[in-house]
Structure formats: C-alpha cells, structure tokens
Structure 1
Amino acid sequence: MKRRILAALAALALGITTALGASSAATAAEPTGAPYVAIGDSEAAGTGNMPYVDETCKRSKKAYPVLLGDDLGTSVVSAACAGANTTQVAGQASALAGMGQLGPATQLVTITAGINDIQWQTVLALCSGAGTPAACEAAKAAAVAAIPGIAPAIAQLVGLVRTLAPNAYIVVTGYPLLFGQVTGTCTVGASGGAPVKLTAELTAEVNAGIVGINAAISSGVGLYQQAYADLFGAPDPKVEYVDVTAGFAGHGLCDTGDRWISGVSAGKGTVDRGFHANAAGQQAWASIIQVALAG
C-alpha cells in the first residue's frame, strides 16, 4: 500500500508541474471553462429528487450544485452521475475539460466521490433482508477492506482537477451519516408491501462506515496537499475538505428532526430515493458549502 501511495503521489506531482507549465502558455489565449463545475456521484447529482435533467445519470434540478450556483449567483456545469466511483468521476473531469467546460477560467469545482468505491448499496441491500447472513457479512468485510483505497484515489482526483483547472477553488465534500441513534429497530420505508427494518447494530455499523469513508476522503485531500507542499513549499490554498456530518445532525433516518435523507420506496419514480439526500438535504448540502466558502 505504501509503495502504491508513493507512486500515485509521484505521478500527481509530475502532473501538477506539467499542467502549471502549460497553463502559463494558455493565458495568452482566451481562457476556457465554466465558472462553476460540479463532478461526483449520486449525491452531487441529486438522485431521487425529480425532475431529472439527465435520466441516464439521474441528475436533478434540485441537486446541491444547482442550488449552490443559485446562491452564488452563477450557473453550474455538472457531470455528476449516479453510481460513479472515483475513477469515473475523474473521467467526468477529463470529459468536461475536453469540451472546454473545465479549464483556466473555472473558479470553483465541487467534488463528492468515494462512497461508491466500496459498493455501499450492496451492503445495505444484502443486510436488510435481501441476502443471507453470510452474504451480508461478506459484503461488509469487502466494504471495510476497500476503504483505505479511497485516500490515494481522492488525492489523484484532486490533482487531476488542479491540472485541468489551475485557478479554481476546489471543494471536496464528505457524506452525511444516514441514521440517527437507534435503540431498537429503524423502519426506513417499504419494499414489496412489507416494511424495511434495520437493526440498531446495522445502523451503527453503517454510520461507522461512513465516518471511515469521510476520514479516508479527508486523508486523500491531505495526501494531495502533502504532494503540493513538497513541490511548492506550502499546501494548496485553494483546496478544502468540507465535512457535512455536523450540518446534517438530527436529520437522518430515524432521527427526531425532519428527515433530510430519504427512506426506501419501491414505487415508480421513487425507487432511486433510498438513502440519498432529499430536497431539504440537498439544500443543506449547498448551504454548508456556501458557509465554508465564505469562511
């Protein structure tokens, strides 16, 4: 693992150096890039909040990047897509750069990625009645084993975005905890005409997993900053990790406050909502980032 991280950081450093050299030549020409670009997975896409502007990626008009753009007084170019892992999110950035939508003129990039690297939805599906106890335990073990790989992936992703958008402020977000404090069982919706109930043990394990994912994402930003500082003598002042867990506190599934996370529903047009931030949660996400930017 250590050799892999060192190799990734070496490649990252080379990429930054090459891009910064190229960007000085690019300033002579008209800069390209939308002012605000969003990349990421289903949470950045606002999946589950109809209507969609992109049915394939389940990208919503109510997604936090759209709301944040409204708050900041600018439109957003978003390539966020449901199910995307960090490798696919890197592909989003490269594709946008190829279309001239991510570049030297871009002032802000938001990134939400990492949770799909561990197949988290498989864990929830297999451990909520759809699978055997053995399948549930195997899925949980595989997810936990995959968490350490998130950090170097995030470091490389941030480095790629920096090379493509040398002037942008880059915000990397974590994820909210799905569940509140559960003492018995938590009913999170219905499927097949029957309620879906999760045990207190499982909800605690899922929350702990998200804490681990957030820590890995934050560590990935730290790895990028280490590489940047090695090159330029100080961390990149335009890269920030934003933790959203405190902002969502009290609003998870089975919490006493208004739910900002959607439960399970098998109905047409609602099946995508399960375990994603709802409209209120997307607004909260945008507000949390806006406060971080103001700070």
Structure 2
Amino acid sequence: MSRRTNVLACLVTSTLLSLVIAAPAAAAAAAVSDWDYVALGDSYSSGVGASGQTGLCLRSSNAYPGLWNTANSPKTYRSNACSGATTATLRSGQLSGLNAETDLVTLTIGGNDIGFADTVITCTLASDSGCASAVADALVKVRDQLPAKLNATYADIRGKAPNAKVVVLGYPILFDETVANCGVGGMSVTKRKSLNKGAVELNKVIAARSQAAGFTWSSVEDEFAGHGICGTNAWLHGLTVVPPTNSFHPNNAGYRYGYLPALNAALG
C-alpha cells in the first residue's frame, strides 16, 4: 500500500471513529424530547412555597419538576408529587403513572416520615434544649426506621419503572447560622444549628439508600449554601402566616436556582 493510500485510510478511519464517538452524545441530547417524565414525592417536589400552587396537593409549575419540563419539553410530563407525602402514601398513591416506558423519575421523600415539620415547629416554640431533644427524637427515626422505608419505596419505583433514570434529591439546610436574630419567634443560633445538623443526617441516610438502590443522588446543600432562612438572600420561607403551609419551604428562587440546577447536574 502506498504512503498516499495509508494517509487516506487513516483519515477515513479517524472520521468514522469520530462519528461513532459523537453519536451517543448526540443521541442522548436529542432523546430528552422523547422522554416520559414523572415527578414523585412530597411538598418539596410538589412546589409548596412557590407561586401558583393549586389543588389539595399544592402543586405548582414553579417547582423544580415543572421548571425542568418547561425548559426541556419532554414527550410527556406528569407530577404525582403531593404535599404531606410519606414513603407509605407515595407507594400507595403516586406510582400509577410509572411503567416500562417511563424514562425519568424524580423525587424528594423522607422528611415527613420523621416528623420534620413538627420538629421545626417545636423548635420555633421550645427552648434550646427542647429543640435539641426534638431533633434527637427525629434522628432516632432517621437511623432506625427510615432506611427500611426508603428501601421499600425505591424497590417499588424500580419495579414499576424498570428502565427509568431515577434522581433522588435531598433537602436544603434550612437556616443561616451567622446572623444573631432570626424570625418572629427569635429562632436562636443554637436551635438553628440543631435543625441544620438534623437535616445533614437526614440527607446522609437518603443518599446512602438511594445510591444502594442504583439511583442517582443529588444533594442541594451546595446550591442553597448562603441562602438559608434569615440570611440576606434567603431562598426559603421562614415562619409564614399566610399561607402557613409555605413555612420552611423553598420560594421561587429556591426552586429555580437551588433545585433545578441540582437536577440538571444529576442529569449531566
């Protein structure tokens, strides 16, 4: 074979290899428009705290699932997420939209199983020691009860959607710990540290169980860093009177600049 023929052969081979290597990436980018996407979970997925909440489940198109749907236009989108959901109610009432054709599932779950909302309210009203005790009680549930509940939930999701990419998102660290005064109730720095520590431990358990199930874990702790309640640029509501359900949930900025980037990062 002549030198010229060798050069041409190398060029053709290199071109073919480039096309083969590029094809999967191009296919993956194009595939989003063909995805069937189902959002599951609790109030942090339904959109409590965002504008435009409707229905008994308080769903909003300004929650991260709705924002992702608007930005990416998948073939189908359905949100079954519901305020107040636990692992048990998710398993009994939210899985009907899943099937072998489902391409993407996202969820937040676990906070209500350990009485997260009640713990925050207790800390708002109780002493520093009373808050610490309430957080300690919640962490017993995190360690002793939640892993098995998450395992069962993730197994049910995989069984219903065997081919889906499942992204499990965590919870934000709620409070800024640097300012002296925080809210109408005067949530002390000590209380805030107790609650934030509890959120870290909750996220660790959810991360471990979701990864053990073969799902993609996406923490939102980094995204919300510097944007805690009582900080100068909070992405979460503090104690809210009207509507009270918004209390300690992300606001529009939290969903758009906290949760949505965390989901995008998980999807690559």
Same-fold status (TM-score > 0.5): yes
Secondary structure of 2:186's aligned partner:
strand
Provide closer, same or farther for how the CA distance between residues 242 and 137 of structure 1 changes in structure 2, counting only shifts above 3 A.
Answer: closer
TM-score by length of 2: 0.80
2:217–2:266 Cα contact (<8 Å) kept: no
What percentage of aligned pairs have identical amino acids? 31
**1:111 equivalent in alignment to 2:85:** no
TM-score by length of 1: 0.73
Task: Please state how far the C-alpha of 1:133 moved relative to its aligned partner.
Answer: 7.3
Q: Deviations over 1:71-91 (max 9, x none)?
A: 222252111111111111222
Unaligned 5+ segments in structure 2 are 1-34
Q: Indicate the residue corresponding to 2:87 in structure 1.
A: 86
Supply the distance in 2 between the matched residues of 1:71 and 1:240 (Cα, whole angstroms). 21
Larger Rg: 2
Task: Please state how far the C-alpha of 1:135 moved relative to its aligned partner.
Answer: 6.0
Q: Indicate the residue corresponding to 1:143 in structure 2.
A: 138
Unaligned 5+ segments in structure 1 are 1-33, 188-194, 226-238
Q: Indicate the residue corresponding to 2:69 in structure 1.
A: 69
Aligned with 2:117 (options 113, 121, 129): 121
- Between 1:57-66 and 1:133-142, the stretch displaced more is 133-142
2:128–2:191 Cα contact (<8 Å) kept: no
1:48–1:58 Cα contact (<8 Å) kept: no
Task: Please state how far the C-alpha of 1:158 moved relative to its aligned partner.
Answer: 1.5
Q: Indicate the residue corresponding to 1:265 in structure 2.
A: 240
Task: Please state how far the C-alpha of 1:156 moved relative to its aligned partner.
Answer: 1.9
Q: Indicate the residue corresponding to 1:164 in structure 2.
A: 160
**1:275 equivalent in alignment to 2:248:** yes
- Between 1:84-93 and 1:204-213, the stretch displaced more is 84-93
Q: Indicate the residue corresponding to 2:14 in structure 1.
A: none
**1:244 equivalent in alignment to 2:244:** no
Secondary structure of 2:54's aligned partner:
strand
The letter of the residue matching 1:47 is V
Matches for 1:207-218 after TM superposition, within 5 Å: 207-218=196-207
Q: Indicate the residue corresponding to 1:236 in structure 2.
A: none
Supply the distance in 1 between the matched residues of 2:70 and 2:48 (Cα, whole angstroms). 19
- What is the Cα-based RMSD across aligned positions, in Å? 1.9
Secondary structure of 1:170's aligned partner:
strand
Supply the distance in 2 between the matched residues of 1:223 and 1:35 (Cα, whole angstroms). 24
Q: Indicate the residue corresponding to 2:189 in structure 1.
A: 200
Aligned with 2:171 (options 167, 171, 175): 175
